[in-house]
A and B are shown apart, each in its own frame.
Chain A
Amino acid sequence: MNDPLRILVVDDEAIVGKRLKPILEKSGYQVDVCESGTLALERLSEKTFDIVVTDVRMDDVDGMQVLARVLATSPSTKVIIITGYATVELAREALTKGAFDFIAKPFKPDDLRGVISKAVAQLEAESVSTVD
């Protein structure tokens, strides 16, 4: 994996994308930001991402729908759910539907960086096993 990993951040709170984009770019990732689920679905139809970070509660298309679309079109993509309304039920639903991880807001940038590092490690392990 020599090209920078592509990450899509989806959150209808503009401030989340604005804050995360420079932080993740600084870590060497290529980052796109969408401020709605609908825009995210459009972007996903144009481009494949290695990692998608999505909020759950959004007005038009919610994070679970984004998760389903991502995994239907790119099963190896790691989807990380972020939400200010975390519950056991929602976390388990996200995992059952294939989410890689689930983070409650508010979180520290380091928390997300840690989860993304784990996702990257898994992507690398999967790419090695595919080559083998």
Chain B
Amino acid sequence: MPIISLSSHLGSKAARIARRVADATGYRLLDRGFLDEIAERHGVSRASLLDLLDNAPRFLGIGSRSRRRNLAILQQAVLEELLHDRIVTIGLAAHLYVTGVSHFIRVRVVGDQEERARALSEEQGISVEKAARLIKLHDRRRLHWSLEFFDLDESDPALHDLVIDLGATPEDEAVRTICEAAAARLYQPITYSVKCLQDQALAARVRVALFDPYPDIEVKARGTTVYVRAKAPARHRHRRVAAIKEAAQEVAGVDYVEVHLSGDSFRQATAGIP
């Protein structure tokens, strides 16, 4: 069965819709409650993961290395969880890093500014004016965030399979529409999409395993072969390639490692991998 990923702006009731879709479909809800498990498993704090998800990168990139490490950990944990499918996910930014998986349904929930401000005002017990200011600030931060980490504007409708405007669609209808989409043939898991997800989970695992010594590497996987794009000064080239191969081969599920020092050869080797 498919994976349903919901994303939204602040104050647009998407969390409630996600819960209702999970209840209606019998799927598991994977939301920020999962951060506790990630924190425990990887020895990072929940607060740092929340900070990663909620706050834009700092001025002059302060703390950016630890944030990128946390992002790699988040991606690995979420991708591995998504391998189980029958999941509704929200709040973990999966819509930005799960790519090329045809049974992963991206749903964007939008609402007009006034309605969102009213909803946030009720939810947090603050004035509508303050809620409106918070929403504007949050929208700017989110745009900055998604551009910085993924070079994507997450509010771009072209990124999503389904965009639901809660200003024009009652909540019950939104839930029903998402559930119907999940039952559609085109979103069912197939060999290709399951393998894409497995490949991305393996690449994420390797990325985390290699992050500390090599924070700037790019990793893709196809089956049990892993492709690593790394930078290395000319005189350390052979040693670095050997070290990366050795470290990557330690990761469960990896049989063969190719290390590419040139972007062109990496792109050529990984052509067709989403």
- On chain A, the number of residues with a Cβ less than 8 Å from chain B's Cβ atoms is 18
Chain B 95-125 interface mask (CB, 8 Å, partner A; 1/0): 0000011100000000000000000000000
Contact of A101 among B101, B187, B190, B272 (CB under 8 A): B190
Q: Are the CB atoms of B191 and A86 closer together than 8 Å?
A: no
Q: How far is the CB of A118 from chain B (nearest CB, A)?
A: 9
- A87-103, CB < 8 A from B: 87-88, 91-93, 95-96, 101-103
Q: Assuming A84-B272, A92-B102, is B191 touching A101 (CB within 8 A)?
A: yes
- A57-99, CB < 8 A from B: 84-88, 91-93, 95-96
Pick from A85, A91, A114 the residue with the most CB of B within 10 Å.
A91
Q: Assuming A95-B186, A96-B185, A104-B272, is B191 touching A88 (CB within 8 A)?
A: no
Q: Smallest CB-CB separation from B99: which chain A residue?
A: A88
Using a CB–CB cutoff of 8 Å, the interface residues on chain A facing chain B are 84-88, 91-93, 95-96, 101-104, 108, 111, 114-115
Q: Assuming A101-B190, A102-B191, A102-B192, is B101 touching A95 (CB within 8 A)?
A: no
Contacts of B186 in A (CB 8 A): 92-93, 95-96
Q: Are the CB atoms of A102 and B190 closer together than 8 Å?
A: yes
Q: Could you list 27 examples of A-B contacts with CB < 8 Å?
A: A84-B272, A85-B272, A86-B272, A88-B101, A88-B102, A91-B190, A91-B193, A92-B187, A95-B102, A95-B185, A95-B186, A96-B186, A101-B190, A102-B102, A102-B190, A102-B191, A102-B192, A103-B191, A103-B192, A104-B192, A104-B195, A104-B272, A108-B223, A111-B191, A111-B195, A114-B191, A115-B191
Q: Smallest CB-CB separation from B188: which chain A residue?
A: A95
Q: Assuming A95-B185, A96-B185, A104-B195, is B190 touching A88 (CB within 8 A)?
A: no
The docked-state distance in angstroms from the alpha carbon of A125 to that of B193 is 24
Q: Assuming A96-B186, A101-B190, A104-B272, is B102 touching A91 (CB within 8 A)?
A: yes
Q: Are the CB atoms of A87 and B191 closer together than 8 Å?
A: no
